Structure 1
Amino acid sequence: MPVAADQLLRLPLLPVLAAQGLSVRRKAQRLPEPIGPRQGRIGRGPRLRLLIAGDSSAAGVGAGTQAQALSGHLVTRLAKHYAVEWRLEATTGHRTQDTIDRLGKINDQFDMAVTALGVNDVTRGVTRRRFITQQTQLLDLLSGRLGARRIVVTAVPQMQRFPALPQPLAWVLGRQAARLDQGLQQVADSFPKVRHLKLDLPDDPALAAPDGYHPSPKAYALWAEEAARLLRQA
């Protein structure tokens, strides 16, 4: 496989990238995970056991409460059609391997699951090959021992669009995020129960949280709408 332009340029750009990375970390506005329940029951209809798992975006960072986050919007939409028993297992900073370790300790069964991972895999230098291996392990766990019959894997975000990231750092991270997402799509296509959710959101400042790194409540609502649509197709 030919080496991509950003990979060729990474070495000469390393001093600039390192300086920008340190600056972003130093200036970053650190938003907390939203308050509110992380499991519950709501709605009427056929029983639906739902798991939401992943990193800070799955946890809802950028929203003030879980009701404004992915979990709240998603459960509200599904509760119009199902009696939803839901559970959120997500933590800021988690990579795919962290989520595998966390879910490996769970003994419950679920009907459906939504995952959101990849940004921390990008920033921690996880390779595309390793990411594919770990995502395969995660989907084996979700569709196997945890019993999920429909799984929606959210695409790795387009990090070049994060307002908090300067150039050329945004470009380099964006290219790596795209490579990991191509791997994620490949993994998803190999599982009949899995759907890959590529969010194509407009360039609207209202969709970004104040930190320029996470979704806003408005973005979480759009995300939940698309995730609910894919889940209901099952």
Structure 2
Amino acid sequence: MNPTIETIAKLVLSPLLVAQALKVRNTASTLPEPPGHRSGQFGIGTPLRLLIVGDSSAAGVGAKHQNEALSGQLVQALGSSHRIDWKLVARTGATTREALPLLRSQISVPTDVALVVLGVNDVTSQIPLAHLLQAREKLYEHLFSVWGAKRVIAAGIPPLGNFPLLPQPLRWFLGVQARRFDKALQRQAQELGVDYVPFDIPLTLEMMAEDGFHPGVNAYFLIGRTVAEKILHR
């Protein structure tokens, strides 16, 4: 599927797509960010300074507590071999461009690994791909230069075409865009020295939160283990 067909589909289906997107946004926004610490220390072993920045998935929406969310799962997976000094900077609805002011509002500290979990809102907000790539480059540069990140890892965009909550044809349309954006981000990451972790978690009902849009605890567990493997076995 190419951008020209996407453009034609958007023009033809625009009223329906907008109506469906508004309904989905209202439904998906009902789950809160879970309570729990957003920074701390955990584990024993070699020190590892970890920063997680991103959107509602980074913030753990779909879990009941941060211990069950991405940050908790990742820190627990790393804590058996490392002493993790970690920090979470995330907000529901954040796009890549909006993540940079979030980071700038924090006091930067030296970081070994920065994990970027963004992209879904860039797709659903219909941000042009060129603008997304520019925003990502600025975000990566900020992590490397200001936070002193020795390594930046970007999580891939989930296959929106498989999200249970999304009705057709919105599911198809966003799925096509998500695949195109994900491929472009993966190419960019390679060029900029950023590690990329494709999203390969099966989006079955058991993996999703009750809203059918966010990851559930089982998905956070698998994602946390996948990213931990990436960090430990470069």
- TM-score, normalised relative to structure 1: 0.94
Match of 1:48 in 2: 48
Match of 1:124 in 2: 125
Match of 2:232 in 1: 232
Is 1:38 aligned to 2:41, yes or no?
Answer: no
Q: Which moved more, 1:160-169 or 1:183-192?
A: 183-192
Give the drift of 1:13: 0.7
Q: Is the 8 A contact 1:153 1:197 kept in 2?
A: yes
Match of 1:166 in 2: 167
Match of 2:87 in 1: 87
Is 1:191 aligned to 2:195, yes or no?
Answer: no
Q: Is the 8 A contact 1:52 1:88 kept in 2?
A: yes
Q: Which moved more, 1:142-151 or 1:125-134?
A: 142-151
- Once residues 21 and 211 of structure 1 are traced to their aligned partners in structure 2, the CA distance between those partners, rounded to angstroms, is 14
Match of 2:98 in 1: 98
Q: Say if 1:42 and 1:27 are closer, same or farther in 2 by CA, change over 3 A.
A: closer
- Once residues 230 and 104 of structure 1 are traced to their aligned partners in structure 2, the CA distance between those partners, rounded to angstroms, is 27
- Once residues 108 and 58 of structure 2 are traced to their aligned partners in structure 1, the CA distance between those partners, rounded to angstroms, is 21
Deviations along 1:142-188, one digit per CA (max 9) or x if unpaired, are 12221111221001111111111001001111111122212211221
Q: Say if 1:15 and 1:55 are closer, same or farther in 2 by CA, change over 3 A.
A: same
Match of 1:150 in 2: 151
Deviations along 1:191-223, one digit per CA (max 9) or x if unpaired, are 33x211112122421000000100000000100
- Once residues 104 and 216 of structure 2 are traced to their aligned partners in structure 1, the CA distance between those partners, rounded to angstroms, is 30
Unaligned runs of 5+ in 1: none
Deviations along 1:84-119, one digit per CA (max 9) or x if unpaired, are 000000000111111111112332111101111011
Q: Say if 1:101 and 1:203 are closer, same or farther in 2 by CA, change over 3 A.
A: closer
SS of equivalent residue, structure 1 residue 187: helix
| Equivalent residues, number | 232
Give the drift of 1:75: 0.2
Give the drift of 1:8: 1.5
Q: Say if 1:191 and 1:26 are closer, same or farther in 2 by CA, change over 3 A.
A: closer
Q: Which amino acid aligns with 2:164?
A: P
SS of equivalent residue, structure 2 residue 123: helix
- Once residues 99 and 198 of structure 1 are traced to their aligned partners in structure 2, the CA distance between those partners, rounded to angstroms, is 20
Q: Is the 8 A contact 2:52 2:89 kept in 1?
A: yes
Q: Percent identity?
A: 41
Q: Say if 1:41 and 1:28 are closer, same or farther in 2 by CA, change over 3 A.
A: closer
Q: Is the 8 A contact 1:47 1:82 kept in 2?
A: yes
- Once residues 159 and 52 of structure 1 are traced to their aligned partners in structure 2, the CA distance between those partners, rounded to angstroms, is 22
Q: Say if 1:222 and 1:47 are closer, same or farther in 2 by CA, change over 3 A.
A: same
SS of equivalent residue, structure 1 residue 223: helix
CA RMSD of aligned residues (A): 1.4
